[in-house]
């Protein structure tokens, strides 16, 4: 598996009006499909096989970040979160400010020697961004966006760490899948949706699924990976395969077909059981128009919504292989 594309997707930014990662995904998908852009909906890539049925595969391209709310002077800024950012990890975190030009800044950290309460975790309203630029008003305006600044790095074994792996790993899987199947004889017309705005309330998947009019759909996202002090019932184990969603809001037939293929083809698979909504694009896709039979595959990920997310590349290959066999087998 060539991880250079994953590295490009991870390091790029897709936040608000900034479309770096989306442009990379578009350039790659155009090699295999007819691609159209739909504003905040994202990208819709079609591989038309002249069939009566259409399968929609979805992954979201946007990431969590920040927006400048106040310029304090002397180089300091206040920001609000765009999506579910974790304030616990922000002090001393390096970011990119997308002002009149891009530049690096850091979240200010109180030295432990001066902290009144060393165990106190500050909220975002109590943390300031240090740009180091005394006349910062010349370079930044309220409403400018701020993104994490992290390179993708390889850990020992098959694991990688970086920012925005939620859900650039899903996007990567769908681009690689398109490469493998675009010239195959499929039972479906295939639509790949690279949706935007998932971190702001599943916005892109609402409009993209309405546009696509699919007969079936599978959403590809991430879920909680194992680690110290995390309940095994609430997470998947990195390296043990994709997590198959099981929920009352998901289609039982799609879920069972994915489960059967994994067993028949010896593709590692874990199960993620939910009592209701999945908090992924699958929730809104399943009720688009008159309803779409929808399944969910998730990749276990550690340190969610931080600049140091971790995944195992074996799980990415598992997702690609399972979707490949699902497509060649005619779906549900």
- Can you list the positions of beta strands (E) in 163-277? 189-195, 216-224, 242-246, 269-273
Q: How far apart are CA 6 and CA 12, in angstroms?
A: 10
Number of Cα atoms under 13 Å in the Cβ half of residue 188: 23
**Alpha carbon 248 to its chain's center:** 23
Residues 6+ apart with CB under 8 A from 233: none
Q: Which residue out of 28, 63, 176, 198 is catalytically annotated?
A: 198
Our answer to whether residue 325 is catalytic in this structure is no
Q: How far apart are CA 249 and CA 329, in angstroms?
A: 24
Residue 95 phi/psi, 5-degree rounding, is -135, 170
Q: How far apart are CA 32 and CA 62, in angstroms?
A: 22
Q: How far apart are CA 127 and CA 81, in angstroms?
A: 12
Q: Which two tokens stand for residue 149?
A: 């600044």
**Alpha carbon 311 to its chain's center:** 12
Q: Which two tokens stand for residue 21?
A: 């990662």
Q: How far apart are CA 88 and CA 305, in angstroms?
A: 11
* Contact yes or no for 169/222 (Cβ under 8 A): yes
In Å, how far are 19, 215, 219, 275, 280 from 37, measured between CA atoms? 11, 21, 19, 34, 21
In Å, how far are 127, 184, 201, 261 from 86, measured between CA atoms? 12, 43, 17, 37
Residues 6+ apart with CB under 8 A from 265: 321, 322, 325
Q: Which residues are catalytic?
A: 198
């Amino acid at each position: 598996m060539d991880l250079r594309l994953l590295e490009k997707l991870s390091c790029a930014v897709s936040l608000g009006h900034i479309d770096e990662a989306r442009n990379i995904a578009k350039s790659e998908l155009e090699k295999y499909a007819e691609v159209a852009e739909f504003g905040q909906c994202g990208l819709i890539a079609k591989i038309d096989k002249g069939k009566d049925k259409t399968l929609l595969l979805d992954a979201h391209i946007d990431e969590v970040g920040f927006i400048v709310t106040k310029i304090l002077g002397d180089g300091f800024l206040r920001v609000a979160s765009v999506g579910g950012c974790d304030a616990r990890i922000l002090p001393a975190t390096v970011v990119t400010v997308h002002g009149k030009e891009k530049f690096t800044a850091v979240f200010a950290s109180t030295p432990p020697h001066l902290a009144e309460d060393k165990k106190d975790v500050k909220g975002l309203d109590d943390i300031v961004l240090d740009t180091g630029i005394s006349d910062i008003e010349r370079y930044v305006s309220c409403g400018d966006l701020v993104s994490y600044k992290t390179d993708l790095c390889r850990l020992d074994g098959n694991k990688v760490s970086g920012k925005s792996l939620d859900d650039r790993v899903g996007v990567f899987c769908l681009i690689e899948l398109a490469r493998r199947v675009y010239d195959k004889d499929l039972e479906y017309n295939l639509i790949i949706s690279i949706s935007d705005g998932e971190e702001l309330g599943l916005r892109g998947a609402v409009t993209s699924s309405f546009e696509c009019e699919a007969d079936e759909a599978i959403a590809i996202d991430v879920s909680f990976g194992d680690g110290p002090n995390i309940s095994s019932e609430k997470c998947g184990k990195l390296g043990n395969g994709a997590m198959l969603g099981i929920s009352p809001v998901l289609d039982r037939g799609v879920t069972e077909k994915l489960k059967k293929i994994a067993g028949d083809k010896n593709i590692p698979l874990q199960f993620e059981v939910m009592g209701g909504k999945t908090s992924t694009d699958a929730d809104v896709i399943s009720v688009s128009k008159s309803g779409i039979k929808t399944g969910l595959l998730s990749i276990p990920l550690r340190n969610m919504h931080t600049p140091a997310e971790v995944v195992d590349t074996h799980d990415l290959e598992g997702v690609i292989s399972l979707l490949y066999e699902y497509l060649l087998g005619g779906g549900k």
